[in-house]
Each structure stands twice: as C-alpha cells, then as structure tokens.
C-alpha cells in the first residue's frame, strides 16, 4: 500500500480574490495558474464556473491545459452543491474536469443561513445529487466541501462524508470557515473523520486566530496518520477573506523543515524555487506588499543585524538559518534600469512597442503580427489597470488568441 501523501490545492484564484477591497484581472489569474504549474502545485481552484465574467477566462485556461502550457496542474472550479448549478456550470464551461461542490453542514449555518429551506437530511440529499450529476457530466474528480466543518456535529459530519463517498466524491474538504480550530482540535476531528470514512481529506483553514498554517499542517498529519492522502488549501502570500488563508510558501516550508515532519511525504512535484517569483508577482498584482517578516520571502527572512546573530550566520548559515535562500529562488542579483525606459501601455506606438519586445528577445514574423500583439497589449494594460510585467508581455505574444478571450467580457 502506497504511503499517504500531502498535496497542495491553491485557492488564490477563488478564495484569495474574495479578499475585501482587492481583485485580480483575468490575465493576472492566468499568470498565477502558470506560475503555480511551474511550482508543481497539484491543483488550482481557478474560479467560479457560474460567474459569467469568468466564463471566457475559465475556458481559455482550459485551452492552456489542452495545449500543455499548463502541463501538470489541474484546474478546479468551485460550485454550490446543487444539481442545477452543476448542470449550468457544464453548459458554460463544458471541458471542466475537476470541481469542488460546497454546502454548509453546521447547525449554525443550517438553521440560521438556510432559514428552513434545507434541513440536515436535505443538505445530504442535495449534496449527493450534485456529486452524481458532476460525475455523470464527465468530471475526473469531485471534492465535497463541508462548509463550517469545524463547528459541525461530529456524528453528522461523518454521515455527510459517508454519503459523499457513496455518491462518488473523491475527497472531503474540511472547512474551518471561521478559523476557530486549533492544531489540537483539528487533528482530533480530522483523525476521527478520516478513520470513520476512509477518504482523502482536503484541509481548508482561515487565519482568524493566527493559526492557519499550524492548523493546516495538523489536519494533514491527522489524515496521513489515518492512512489517507491529505490536500492542503493555500493562497499565495496568505491572501483570503478576513485574516486570510494558509500561505503557500509557509505551508511548504513547514512540511519540509518542521520538527517531526520528515516522516510525511509532500508531493514530489513541488518546486520551491518558484517561490520568490510567484510571491513577488502576486504582491504586484494584488497591490499588497509582502510583510518584511514573511517566512521565506520577506525582506528580513534572511537578514541579520544583531552582532551575535550576524557573526554566527557568517561562520555557518545553519547557526541562524533553517533553510537556504537559494532554495526559494532568491539570491540572484536584480537589475534595476536607472536610465531611459520604454514601456508598453494602452497608448503605445509601434516603434516603442517593438523596442520593448526586442529587449525580451521576441521576434515578430512581420508588421501585421506585431500590430496584432500591440493591440492586445493595449487592451491588457486597460484590463490590468497597471503596466504589464515581462512574463505577461511574453504570454500575450505567445498566445494572442487565448489572450484575446481572456480580455473579452460581455455583460
């Protein structure tokens, strides 16, 4: 029997973008999917198939899967666990292969959110019907979300999970929706759940008590200790509703370097070298600075000022550094051009535009192709409402037809 593993399902493009007062453009969401793919993340929850302004973006990203630009990552959509929503989603996004179906399970939510529309048994019935419908329509995997699982009666949570498994669900998402679990409570609850149902457990935690990474690791340990695979939900830079979700890089570092974690197996595809690039990009895209004390990628993560610490680090980095900055893709000099700079924006002309792409070593076959990409880059700048980074410029030039779909929204 294979040893259970810990996989990463990043939810930046679903839960991260629900952070109040911020947003991402569809191009920025696409770039995050590309970087997550490079990082070896198992799955990106890439959006909402029933949200109409997402339709072109979702279908365009599934084209990137088809042409192998997104070669290993799976793209999953988030839906309410209702049969009608599943049917509608597959009409809008017909090539969707991975979904998470969500419904509330706690007494608090069933009584005070559904207000009599659903009771405990009809919640299970609604969920089971939606799972069967998703399978019928051709999904490769279905995760079932127990929203507010941390406040759900344990016997009912087990009954719910058993019904999901019977209906064909591939895993159960244990949602600590309010962030009220502790590492001790979530370990105990998930161990009971996993042992009772014997199904892979997805751990979705929030940071309202500052315990989000600890809770995520404890939940994954409980699933693995019960013989089940674990899937940890993360967000780049810990974005997410209220106090945020589990930071992607912190979770990886905790699994790789935490005491007593060596016996647990992180998905071998994970490539921490992409950490610096993806975190910096997300910070720019969200317009939210990386805290200087952020694990691994903060400005002070490898900074030493105290005499004793500086002396010790210079003698041997292991005296005061748990892991190497090179492992996170840090350490290369970053060149800042302090002279003339030509940028490509919404009002760019062809000469300046060609200069920008010449520096990126991208050659157009003729003026017509250059003009087509220039027009798309103009749209992209309006779409992003900020200058494009080099990787975005390269993407538009490489996939103009897909870029055009991503930029197109019709109300």
Give pLDDT tens digits for 234-252.
999 999 999 999 999 999 9
What's the rounded mean pLDDT across residues 226-230?
98
Percent of the chain with pLDDT over 70: 96
Q: Any bridge partners for residue 8, and if so which? A: 232
What's the rounded mean pLDDT across residues 297-324?
80
Is the model's pTM score more than 0.85?
yes
Name the CA dihedral angle for 318, 324, 325, 328, rounded to a multiple of 10 degrees: -150
pLDDT value of residue 313? 67
Burial class (CB in 10 A: 0-12, 13-18, 19+), 330: middle
Residue 256 CB coordination number (10 Å) = 16
pLDDT tops 80 at residue 27: yes
The two most distant CA atoms of the chain are separated, in Å, by: 68
What's the rounded mean pLDDT across residues 60-76?
97
- Selection from 199, 269, 258, 266 nearest residue 227 by Cα: 199
pLDDT value of residue 310? 61
pLDDT value of residue 391? 96
pLDDT value of residue 119? 96
pLDDT tops 80 at residue 311: no
29 vs 13: CA distance, rounded Å = 6
Residue 28 contacts by C-beta under 8 Å, 6 or more apart in sequence? Answer: 285, 384, 392
pLDDT digits 0-9 by tens, 335-369:
777 665 667 777 777 777 888 898 899 999 888 99
pLDDT tops 70 at residue 307: no
Q: Report which of residues 152 and 358 the model is more confident about.
A: 152
**Percent of residues in the chain assigned helix, strand, coil, to nearest 5:** 50, 15, 40
């Amino acid at each position: 029997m294979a040893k259970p593993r810990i996989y990463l399902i990043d939810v930046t493009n679903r839960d991260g973008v629900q952070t109040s007062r911020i947003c991402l453009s569809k191009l920025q969401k696409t770039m995050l999917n590309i970087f997550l793919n490079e990082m070896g993340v198992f799955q990106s929850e890439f959006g909402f198939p029933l949200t109409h302004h997402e339709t072109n973006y979702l279908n365009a990203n599934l084209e990137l899967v088809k042409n192998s630009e997104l070669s290993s990552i799976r793209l999953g959509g988030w839906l309410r666990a209702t049969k009608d929503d599943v049917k509608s989603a597959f009409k809008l996004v017909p090539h969707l292969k991975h979904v998470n179906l969500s419904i509330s399970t706690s007494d608090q939510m069933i009584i005070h959110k559904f207000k009599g529309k659903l009771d405990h048994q009809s919640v299970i019935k609604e969920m089971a019907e939606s799972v069967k419908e998703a399978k019928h329509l051709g999904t490769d995997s279905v995760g079932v979300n127990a929203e507010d699982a941390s406040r759900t009666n344990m016997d009912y949570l087990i009954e719910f999970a058993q019904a999901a498994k019977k209906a064909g669900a591939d895993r159960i998402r244990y949602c600590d929706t309010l962030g009220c679990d502790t590492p001790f409570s979530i370990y105990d609850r998930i161990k009971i759940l996993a042992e009772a149902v014997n199904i892979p457990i997805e751990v979705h935690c929030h940071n309202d008590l500052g315990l989000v990474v600890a809770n995520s690791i404890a939940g994954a340990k409980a699933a693995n200790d019960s013989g089940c695979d674990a899937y940890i939900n993360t967000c780049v830079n810990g974005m997410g509703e209220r106090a945020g979700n589990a930071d992607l890089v912190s979770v990886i570092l905790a699994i790789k370097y935490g005491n007593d974690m060596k016996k647990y197996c992180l998905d071998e595809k994970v490539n921490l070298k992409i950490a610096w690039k993806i975190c910096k990009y997300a910070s720019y895209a969200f317009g939210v600075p990386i805290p200087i004390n952020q694990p691994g990628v903060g400005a002070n993560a490898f900074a030493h000022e105290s005499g004793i610490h500086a002396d010790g680090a210079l003698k041997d980095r292991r005296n005061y550094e748990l892991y190497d900055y090179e492992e996170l893709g840090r350490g290369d000099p970053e060149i800042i051009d302090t002279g003339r700079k030509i940028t490509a924006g919404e009002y760019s002309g062809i000469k300046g535009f060609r200069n920008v792409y010449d520096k990126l070593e991208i050659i157009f076959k003729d003026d017509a192709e250059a003009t087509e990409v220039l027009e798309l880059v103009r749209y992209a700048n309006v779409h992003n409402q900020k200058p494009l980074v080099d990787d975005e410029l390269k993407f538009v030039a490489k996939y103009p037809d897909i870029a055009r779909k991503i930029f197109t929204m019709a109300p």
